[in-house]
Structure formats: structure tokens, C-alpha cells
Amino acid sequence: MTPVFGGRIRAAFAPPQYLASPLSGVDISTSGVKVARLTEGPHGLTLSHYAQARLPLGVFTDGEIIDQKAIIEALQTTTQASGITAANVALSESKAYLFETTVPGAGKPQWRLAIEQHLDELVPLPPQETAFDIIGINRKENGDESIVGVGFAQRMVDETLSVFDQANISVRALEEETFAMARALLPVGDTSTTLIIDVGKTTTKMAIVTARIPHFATTIGIGGHAFTLAVQKHFGVTESEARKVKAERGIVPVAGNEDYLAAMLSTAAAIRDEISTRLTYWQEKAVIQGPHPPVSQVILTGGNASVRGFPEYLEGALQIPVSAGDVFTNLASRDTWIPTLDYTESLAYTTAIGLALRDDTSQYG
């Protein structure tokens, strides 16, 4: 098996301090390619460049690159516009295998060796075709280490690296996307157990993180585009017009708006039920079995997280505080700079900003 994704994947570790830090991230999703570049200023980090290139449906599907040429063109367009030549890159949660285990040993080389000996029990792929990385999270009394790890098919890693090589972009690290989301949305030192919900175009991703490390992640096959389709069907308008209506009306009850609201709530309920099922399982497991604490808050992010009324709707259903995320949480105080990126649009850049932050050594204490 290839160790540590050819040396270019690190699940949640500080980068070597001797390396120059471009503080750049690239996120490829069904909706498009998004890039973010951070700059260190007198008051801290600020978002200096960002760009996106939308992708037609079918170019990137279920975490897979289907049309390499289209992806390469989008990468070149966005990175050139942002002055990015090297970046940290996300790998899709839908193709990841997140695992937890306990291993003996005093450091990462020994932990990796122990995991390699029973990798097939942790990742449902042939060991010789698996790339993985790990992070130690807790030293037990007997000297063993609790480990969180993530595995990918080596094929996925190779295909991603090939596309970036062809686009002439150096890949500093590959990272499963939920690690990046947690880094962007939760403050340094945060120890809470938080459910992050990323409402994308065609999927909704869930990640339960403790101390900013994912312990559970999954992808639900329904996203915010279903809201758009509901609006289109109800009003008989174009997709562009439907997106505007969705943004303006959301799922807020308004007199005389009952038919529209019913159409929207059918989609909201489908997303809610999928989330609720998985959250209930975690909450019961955490309370009954341990060792994980129950989820105490929910943070929404993604391109469709800002649908009006959606946070309140989920909070009522899940009975846990729900709020929209802030991707600038770990950047300089807004008292010292004003982001040019609109808040609603910024939620689509969560992963890209989190990837850029991984080269900021202050993120690791």
C-alpha cells in the first residue's frame, strides 16, 4: 500500500514549519471548483483571493472525476485568477472510509505499522489498493493510543493528483473534506461535539466532530437543488428564477403561501429525516455506550445552507441549537477587515478556506 497517500495526505496535522505556506485550498464538488487563498496581515489572516468555476452536472459525480478536461479547465481558470500555483486539495467524503481504533506504540510510525497489519478490518478495500492516514487523539492508561483514520482507494488519489499535475498545480496535501470544514467553522481549541451539515447542490454531508476531529461522516443523496426543482415545478419558472425565489422566500410561513411552502417542506422533510435518523443513532450510542459525548450543537454550511427558515426548521425537529456557520471564524477579526465575499456565498467556500487554513501553524496550538 502507498504510505500516507504518496506523502501528500495528512488527515489533521500541522505542516512542516520549514515549508513555505501558500495558504491556499481547492475544493472540487458537483456544483463546481472553488478556490481560496489567505494572506497574513498585521491583524491576522484575511481572505485575499477566491474564485469559482461552475461545472455542468455529470462532470464530477459522487466524488468521482468523470470529465478530466472540464475539471482541468476549471482548475486553471480559478487558480490563475487567484494566483495559486500550490494548494491543499479536498477528497470527497463520499469516497472516504473514516475509522477509529486503538493501537499500541509511542508514535505515528508504530501506530501505522499496527494499523497496516489489520487494515482490511477497518477499510473495506484490498490493503494493497488503499491509501490511508491517521491521527492520535488520546493516550490511554495502558499506553495504547486512540486513533482516528481515513482511507481512500489509491485509484482516487492517483486520479486526483493526475488532474492537478495536468493543470500545473502543485498539491501540498490531500485531505478528506470534513476535516477541512471543521477547521474552518470551529475556533481553535474548541472541544465541543458538533454536527456539521453541508447542504450542497445534489448531496448533504454530515460530520460529527469532537475537538474539530471528525468521528462520523456520511453523505445523503439529496441537496439544495431539490429546493430549486420544487420552486420550478410550483411556479413554472427557469432554474435561475427559481434560485432567486428560493433565496427570497425560503421555507418561512407566509399567509397565502401555503402551496409553495408545502412543496418546499417536502424536500426539507426528506433532508430532516435522513439527518435525524443518523443523529439519533449517535446520541443513543454516545449516551449508552460511550466514549463519545452527545452532539451539543449543529452548524449549517454549504451553498444551500442559507435558505431562509431552514436553521429554525431543523432546530425544531432535532431539538438542538442550529445556526448557520461562519467561515471567517479563524481569520482576523471583522473589526480590522471587511470580507469582499458575501456571507451567503461564503458558505460555499467552507472546505476551500479550511484547506487553506491547514498551513497556518497557529491552528494546531
pLDDT at position 2: 39
- Assess whether 201 and 151 both reside in one domain: no
- Assess whether 315 and 337 both reside in one domain: no
Separate counts of helices (H) and strands (E) for the chain? 11, 15
Q: What number of CA atoms fall less than 13 Å from residue 14's CA on the CB side? A: 10
pLDDT at position 181: 98
- Assess whether 184 and 194 both reside in one domain: no
- Assess whether 321 and 349 both reside in one domain: no
d(C-alpha 6, C-alpha 172), whole Å: 11
- Assess whether 307 and 355 both reside in one domain: no
CATH of the domain at 209: 3.30.420.40
d(C-alpha 126, C-alpha 97), whole Å: 13
Q: Are 136 and 110 in contact (CB under 8 A)?
A: no
**Residue 360 domain boundaries:** 1-188+330-365
Dihedral (Cα; 152, 193, 27, 115), 10-degree rounding: -20
Instruction: List the pLDDT tens digit at each of the 365 positions of the chain.
Output: 333 344 444 444 444 444 445 799 999 999 999 999 999 999 999 999 999 999 998 999 999 999 999 999 999 999 999 999 999 999 999 999 999 999 999 899 999 999 999 999 999 999 999 999 999 998 888 889 999 999 999 999 999 999 999 999 999 999 999 999 999 999 999 999 999 999 998 899 999 999 999 999 999 999 988 999 988 988 899 998 988 888 888 898 887 778 888 888 988 999 999 999 999 999 998 777 777 899 999 999 998 888 889 999 999 999 999 999 999 999 999 999 999 999 999 999 999 999 999 998 777 65
pLDDT at position 365: 53
User: What pTM was estimated for this model as a whole?
Assistant: 0.91
pLDDT at position 221: 92
pLDDT at position 21: 59
- Assess whether 175 and 210 both reside in one domain: no
CATH of the domain at 181: 3.30.420.380
pLDDT at position 122: 97
pLDDT at position 119: 96
- Assess whether 138 and 65 both reside in one domain: yes
What is the DSSP code string of 140-176?
Answer: -TTS-EEEEEEEEEHHHHHHHHHHHHHTT-EEEEEEE
Judged on CB neighbours under 10 Å (0-12, 13-18, 19+), 48 is: middle
The Cβ of residue 128 has, within 10 Å, a number of other Cβ atoms equal to 9
d(C-alpha 28, C-alpha 128), whole Å: 26
- Assess whether 311 and 196 both reside in one domain: yes
pLDDT at position 186: 98
Q: Are 201 and 224 in contact (CB under 8 A)?
A: yes
- Assess whether 159 and 203 both reside in one domain: no
- Assess whether 196 and 180 both reside in one domain: no
pLDDT at position 7: 44
Please state the domain count of the chain.
Answer: 2
- Assess whether 164 and 18 both reside in one domain: yes
pLDDT at position 292: 87
- Assess whether 350 and 226 both reside in one domain: no
